[in-house]
């Protein structure tokens, strides 16, 4: 190739090098001129006329608002935004960064897998006059999923803890056989898969183990898998899912909606074994008390995963966080309208269909509490 280039020097008379340069460039670039044609058109699904129509038609044109926070809510936020009349941006930067952006005023609202700590509430929030609103908006059951063909597993907290701490290593273990009488469990190595990144899913999973099997699980509630525990690690929900799907005898925890074709274990709750249904999951949230020392619209749930019999204990609660009263009224109106949409029956249903969450309405009392908190927003 290089040898050819040496012969390309322009020896032709009456044609300056600059012309050659420009001419060659033009010939080469000409086909690229088609590209801007594509660029001038907007994306077909982002028809601007539709947007302006909805904005002008409504008596209260809603201001565009931006929120940021938990990536666990990404799919649900997609569904909520699709069904909402105004424009909302949601930036899945992570719960911590989302809360930080909200308190510094960088985001009008936040999505977070954990509520603000009570000591953080003393500091002022840039967008707010006074207190904040925190409502459970996205309740997602976490499934203990496994790759064992034709087996419907039953597990209790102790056996789950033992599997994930490496004390139970084979599917034919006696403890598992005891729980699954009548089911033939294979002689197969157990590959326990956990999340390698920091996640609310891991936080809720370990919180469950710490509450329900304190003897077997000593690491407490941690968002990052304890470094001293071995096991297979995978990145994010999809990493876990991919690993489970590709590995016979693997077991892991992930959003129930993402379990797909994998087996999903029934988990012991009280005296019965419960699958991660919407009703059973919301029951856990409804049966838990609220954290004390907070404002009336600050619904931080102190999840009790052991005392509600028949409730599915492995749930993740993700919050929407906003101001009780916004300094900017237009922002307040828009955020309130969005929150109302999110917690409404249709909003919760949309999230359930698209993201596999459990609708709040499965527990009428809880839904009412949440609606009341949002109602108070200004």
Partner 1 sequence: MTQLDNQLAIPELQLDVPVVHEDQSVLKAQSRALIKDKVIAALFALAAVAIAIPLISLLWTVVSRGLARIDAEFFTSSMKGVVGAGGGALHAIVGTLEITGLTLLVSVPIGIAAAVFLTEYAAPGSRFASCVRFLVDVMTGIPSIVAGLFAYSLFSLVLGPAYRSGIAAALALSLLMLPVVIRSTEEVLLLVPHDLREAGWALGAEKHTVIWKVVLPAALPGVISGVLNGVARIIGETAPLLLVSGFADAMNYNPLEGRMASLPVYIYTQWQMKGLDAQAYDDRAWSAALVLIAVVAVLALAARLAPRLLKGKK
Partner 2 sequence: MRSETLTPQRAGAAAAAFSVVAALAAVLGFLLIQGWPALSAGLGELPSHAENMWQLAGPLVFGSVLVAAIAMLFALPVALGTALYLVFYAPKRVATVLGGALDLLAAVPSVVYGLWGIMVLAPALAGPYAWLNENLGWIPFFAGEASATGRTALTAALVLAVMVLPLTASVIRSALALVPEASIEGAYALGATRWETIKLAALPFARRSIVAGSMLGLGRALGETMAVAMVLSPTPFLIGIKLLTSENPNTVAAYLAQTFPESHGIETSALIALGLALFAITCAVNSLARWITREKTK
**Contacts with partner 2, residue ranges (CB under 8 A):** 71, 93-97, 100, 189, 191, 193, 196-198, 222, 224-225, 227, 230-235, 239, 242-243, 246-250
Give the DSSP H/E element, type plus range, for residue 371. Answer: helix 364-375
Pick one of partner 2, partner 1, none as the site partner of residue 249 (Cβ within 5 to 8 A by kind): partner 2
Pick one of partner 1, partner 2, none as the site partner of residue 327 (Cβ within 5 to 8 A by kind): none
x/- string (CB under 8 A) for partner 1, residues 242-261?
A: ---------------xx-x-
Taking the complex as a whole, how short is the minimal distance between the CB of residue 153 and partner 1, in angstroms? 22
Taking the complex as a whole, how short is the minimal distance between the CB of residue 212 and partner 1, in angstroms? 28
Could you tell me which stretch among 7-15, 220-228, 318-326, 335-343 binds partner 1 (CB under 8 A)? Answer: 7-15
Note whether 275 and 259 are within 8 A (CB). Answer: no
Contacts of 304-308 with CB under 8 Å at 24 or more apart are 304/211, 305/207, 305/208, 305/211, 305/212, 306/211, 306/212, 308/269, 308/270, 308/283, 308/284
In the three-class reduction of DSSP (H, G, I as helix; E, B as strand; rest coil), residue 377 is classed as: coil
Contact between 28 and partner 1 per CB under 8 A? yes
Pick one of partner 1, partner 2, none as the site partner of residue 33 (Cβ within 5 to 8 A by kind): none
Distance (Å, whole) CA 226 – CA 222:
7
Among 71, 127, 318, 333, binds partner 1 (CB under 8 A): 71
What is the Cα 352 distance to its own chain's centre?
Answer: 13
Nearer CB in complex with partner 2: 1/33: 1
Note whether 112 and 98 are within 8 A (CB). Answer: yes
x/- string (CB under 8 A) for partner 1, residues 216-245?
A: --------------------xxx--x----
Among 82, 122, 227, 365, binds partner 1 (CB under 8 A): 82
Distance (Å, whole) CA 328 – CA 149:
56
Note whether 74 and 345 are within 8 A (CB). Answer: no
Taking the complex as a whole, how short is the minimal distance between the CB of residue 272 and partner 1, in angstroms? 27
Question: Judging by DSSP bridges, how do beta strands 88-91 and 132-146 pair with one another?
Answer: unpaired
User: Tokens for 290?
Assistant: 């609220």
User: Tokens for 51?
Assistant: 């947007």
Nearest C-alpha neighbor of 70 from the set 286, 357, 345 = 357
Write down how long the chain is. 378
DSSP state of 170: B
Distance (Å, whole) CA 270 – CA 249:
27
Contact between 25 and partner 1 per CB under 8 A? yes
Q: Which of residues 321-360 bind partner 1 (CB under 8 A)?
A: 350, 353-356
Pick one of partner 1, partner 2, none as the site partner of residue 230 (Cβ within 5 to 8 A by kind): partner 2
Contact between 9 and partner 1 per CB under 8 A? yes
Nearer CB in complex with partner 1: 112/269: 112
Could you tell me which stretch among 14-22, 161-169, 172-180, 315-323 binds partner 1 (CB under 8 A)? Answer: 14-22
Taking the complex as a whole, how short is the minimal distance between the CB of residue 197 and partner 2, in angstroms? 5
DSSP string, 28-48: HHGGGGGHHHHHHSPPTT--H
x/- string (CB under 8 A) for partner 1, residues 84-113?
A: -----x-xxx---x---x----x-------
At CA 355, angle to CA 353 and CA 356, rounded to 5?
65
Which chain residues interact with partner 1 by CB under 8 A? 1-2, 4-10, 12, 16-18, 20-21, 24-25, 27-28, 35, 38-39, 41-46, 68, 71, 74-75, 78-79, 81-82, 89, 91-93, 97, 101, 106, 236-238, 241, 257-258, 260, 350, 353-356
């Amino acid at each position: 190739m290089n040898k050819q280039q040496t012969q390309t020097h322009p020896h032709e008379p009456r044609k300056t090098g600059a012309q050659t340069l420009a001419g060659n460039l033009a010939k080469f670039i000409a086909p690229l001129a088609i590209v801007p044609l594509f660029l001038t058109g907007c994306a077909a699904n982002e028809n601007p006329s539709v947007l302006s129509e909805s904005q002008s038609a409504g008596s209260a044109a809603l201001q565009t608002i931006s929120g940021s926070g938990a990536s666990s809510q990404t799919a649900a936020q997609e569904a909520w935004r699709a069904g909402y009349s105004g424009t909302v941006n949601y930036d899945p930067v992570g719960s911590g960064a989302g809360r930080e952006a909200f308190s510094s005023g960088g985001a009008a609202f936040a999505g977070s897998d954990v509520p603000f700590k009570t000591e953080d509430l003393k500091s002022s929030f840039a967008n707010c006059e006074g207190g904040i609103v925190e409502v459970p908006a996205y309740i997602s059951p976490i499934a203990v999923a496994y790759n064992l063909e034709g087996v419907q597993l039953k597990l209790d907290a102790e056996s789950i803890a033992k599997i994930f701490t490496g004390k139970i290593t084979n599917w034919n273990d006696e403890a598992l056989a005891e729980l699954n009488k009548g089911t033939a469990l294979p002689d197969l190595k157990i590959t326990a898969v956990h999340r390698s990144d920091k996640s609310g899913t891991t936080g809720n999973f370990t919180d469950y183990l710490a509450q329900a099997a304190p003897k077997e699980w000593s690491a407490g509630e941690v968002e990052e898998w304890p470094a001293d525990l071995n096991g297979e690690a995978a990145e994010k929900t999809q990493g876990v899912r991919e690993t489970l799907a590709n590995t016979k005898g693997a077991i892991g925890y992930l959003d129930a909606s993402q379990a797909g074709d994998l087996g999903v274990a029934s988990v012991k709750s009280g005296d019965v074994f419960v699958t991660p249904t919407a009703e059973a999951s919301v029951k856990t949230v409804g049966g838990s008390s609220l954290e004390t020392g907070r404002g009336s619209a600050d619904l931080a749930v102190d999840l009790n995963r052991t005392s509600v019999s028949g409730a599915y204990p492995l749930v993740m609660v993700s919050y929407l966080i906003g101001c009780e009263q916004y300094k900017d009224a237009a922002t307040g109106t828009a955020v309130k309208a969005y929150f109302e949409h999110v917690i409404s029956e249709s909003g919760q249903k949309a999230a359930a269909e698209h993201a596999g969450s459990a609708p709040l309405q499965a527990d009428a009392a809880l839904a009412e509490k949440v609606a009341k908190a949002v109602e108070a927003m200004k």
